[in-house]
Amino acid sequence: GAPNVSTATAVREQHGHDESMHPCAPPDVVVWPQAVGQVQELAALCHRCRVPMVPFGTGTGLEGGVNAVQGGVCFDLSRMDTIAELSLEDFSVTVEPGVTRKALNKHLRGTGLWFPVGTVGVRGV
């Protein structure tokens, strides 16, 4: 519905670029799924209709990966921000794709762990 879908120019432009030097290439629509099932349904619909899909996290990338050069649907994953499981014993955490490094480190505060920039081995739910 309306709070989870936008075709507003300003919203589309915000989601059509990152921190790279590439010019803005906005998607046709921005959606905010809030569960894995919604992502699956949206992806299946886009696939059936041959519409490009562009994932969007925070827009801080340096590669132009969020630029929708062929239009399509931008999946803004920021509302999928649950930290599902933390295992202090094996230093692992399972998160949804909208969890930011800052939010994760806030969650880890007091455990003696932290998630630095450039960490490899990232795996979401």
Q: Which domain holds residue 42?
A: 2-76
Q: Is the pLDDT of residue 120 over 80?
A: no
Say whether 56 sits in a helix, a strand or coil: strand
Residues 66 and 91 in one domain: no
Q: Taking Cα atoms as reference points, which of 50, 54, 48 lies closest to residue 29?
A: 54
Q: Is residue 27 part of a domain?
A: yes
For residue 121, the model assigns a pLDDT of 52
The per-residue pLDDT for range 67-87, each reduced to its tens digit, is 999 999 999 999 999 999 999
Q: Is residue 18 part of a domain?
A: yes
Q: Are 42 and 33 in contact (CB under 8 A)?
A: yes
Residues 64 and 85 in one domain: no
Average pLDDT, whole number, for the chain?
91
For residue 62, the model assigns a pLDDT of 86
Q: How many residues does the chain have?
A: 125
For residue 47, the model assigns a pLDDT of 98
Residues 59 and 105 in one domain: no
Residues 23 and 55 in one domain: yes
Q: Which residue has the tokens 């969890």?
A: 99
Q: Is the pLDDT of residue 52 over 90?
A: yes
Whole-prediction pTM value? 0.83
Residues 55 and 103 in one domain: no
Residues 12 and 53 in one domain: yes
21-34 average pLDDT score = 96
Residues 52 and 105 in one domain: no
38-45 average pLDDT score = 97
